[in-house]
Amino acid sequence: GSILTTTDARGVEVESAGERRIEPVDGNTLHLSLDVNIQSYAQQLAEQAMKAKNAQSVSIIVMNPQNGEIMAMVNVPEFDLNAPFELDTESYLTQEQQQNMLNQMWRNGCINDTYEPGSTFKIITAAAGLEENIVETDTASDFYCGGHELINGITINCWKYQSTHGSQTLRESLMNSCNPAMMQL
């Protein structure tokens, strides 16, 4: 809503002019799709993964595949919403350095960061190969992982590039989440 009044050239309200009110109108109701139980579980898993993998950060998004609703969104480490300007540093920082650290701390990795959807797309690649009858699930030695594949002069590594998966079936390739096998497919 609003209150409309008359003012003089200096912005001082003219008392004798009165005022006119426009009553507020209710807006739409906000419904969150977050599920407190899924959110809590995702938070626990993110903290466990960060500790187990000694990661710098972990982000998890849980979506309803039927409609795309976000059921949970987690970023760790997270900052204390009750102390949003408190930095975890003992050293002297310039104002610019402090602002950069705050911006980095406040960013939501689930929203701000991009990633290659390779692992999430592997199931589509495998399904297409099965549907077109160019591969079977358990045919021996259909694929070979040497740690990487060269595509148009670009080396794309397997996540296990320090060692290899070797010969694998489609089923094994999916269980291993092997990038070279999916590129061969």
The candidate with the shortest Cα–Cα distance to 104, out of 82, 83, 77, 81, is 77
Q: From CA 88, how far away is CA 105, in angstroms rounded?
A: 10
Question: Quick one: three-class SS letters along 121-153?
Answer: HHHHHHHHHHHCCCCCCCCCCCEEECCEEEECC
Check residue 47 and give left, alpha or beta (phi > 0: left; psi -120 to 50: alpha).
alpha
Tell me whether residue 40 is one of the annotated catalytic residues. Answer: no
> Cα-atom radius of gyration of the chain, to the nearest Å?
27
The residue annotated as part of the active site, out of 33, 57, 119, 167, is 119
Catalytic residues: 119
